[in-house]
Amino acid sequence: GSLLVAEGLRKAYGPTMALDGAEFSIHPGEVVAVMGPSGSGKSTLLHCLAGIVTPDSGSIMYDGQDLATMSDAQRSRLRRSDFGFVFQFGQLVPELTCVENVALPLRLNGAPRKQAERTALEWMQRLEVDDLGRKRPGEVSGGQGQRVAVARSLVTDPRVLFADEPTGALDSLNGERVMELLTEAARSANAAVVLVTHEARVAAYSDREIVVRDGKSRDMERVI
Ligand code: ADP
Ligand code: ADP
């Protein structure tokens, strides 16, 4: 069955219909690309699926639970335990070293420092940035920083990784390397990936595409 399913999502910002009947579904371990032009509603869809934005109407079911019936506290607990996030940029804490950044979600969950940093380094090895452990985010390149961010997003073993334009700030070579390592690492952890992008080259790393236009989404598999 599906891990995350949304139907009939509507979300208005004043007169702007950001979502106007969007649908979505993803199976465990699947990589789904959410594509569409700028302003079509991709980020709003991702934020609704992740329980960050509440839609005006429609339903979102995660692992058989209706997000709408959960309290804010339950949704935020779900985000910490089951979801991981990667954004375009600006997500690493500049005062912490790279390994401290990756270990942070485990530390916040109460893990002792040594144990958290050992697990962090394992993830950094998979993303091929374990040699950057002692550097701070300001001392590494954009591509390296994104790989550190991917390691941090997976360190808690999430079941869904939400990635919003994860390569948007990178050149195409670094972008492809990040996508290769991100999808490899997610597959090895059996995490599903919701990948928001407007680039076909990035979407090529997915198993399936969902196209958003004017707040309406289409599952390309069902259309074809
Ligand atoms: P995309 O990610 O495809 O670029 P978005 O989901 O960011 O699209 O935005 C969809 C539409 O909703 C756009 O017209 C955008 O300007 C509008 N929008 C998104 N978030 C907000 C917000 N917080 N306040 C007002 N308008 C918003
Ligand atoms: P890279 O290609 O090194 O992985 P980006 O593609 O994000 O990183 O690089 C975008 C631009 O930012 C490039 O011109 C690069 O030289 C510059 N840049 C990369 N890392 C840093 C940094 N730590 N400080 C300042 N500029 C940087």
Site to probe by mutation for ligand 1, drawn from 9, 11, 44, 88 as the one with most ligand atoms within 8 Å of Cβ, is: 44
Report pLDDT digits (tens) over 139-162: 999 999 999 999 999 999 999 999
- Per-residue pLDDT reduced to its tens digit, 23-42: 999 999 999 999 999 999 99
Give pLDDT tens digits for 92-124: 999 999 999 999 999 999 999 999 999 999 999
Interatomic CA distance for residues 22 and 219, integer angstroms: 10
- Residue-wise pLDDT for 161-173, tens only, equals 999 999 999 999 9
Looking at residue 162, its pLDDT comes to: 97
Indicate which atom in ligand 1 lies nearest the CA of residue 198. 3
Closest listed ligand to the CA of 172: 2
| Pocket lining: 169 vs ligand 2, CB cutoff 6 Å | yes
β-bridge partners, 162: 85, 194
Pocket flag, ligand 2, residue 189 (CB < 6 Å): no
Atom of ligand 2 nearest to the CA of 139: 23
**Statement: residue 221 has pLDDT above 90:** no
Question: Residue 201 CB: number of other CB atoms within 10 A?
Answer: 12
Q: What percent of the chain shows pLDDT beyond 70?
A: 97
Ligand nearest to the CA of 19: 1
Cβ of 52 below 6 Å from ligand 2:
no
Token duo for residue 209: 């595409």
User: What is the pLDDT at residue 1?
Assistant: 85
Q: How far apart are CA 188 and CA 213, in angstroms?
A: 32
ipTM of the complex: 0.70
Using a 6 Å cutoff on CB, does residue 217 contact ligand 1? no
Is there a contact between 140 and 147 (Cβ–Cβ < 8 Å)?
no
Query: In this structure, what are the phi and psi dihedrals at residue 182, rounded to the nearest 5 degrees?
Result: -60, -50
* Ligand with an atom nearest the CA of residue 16: 1
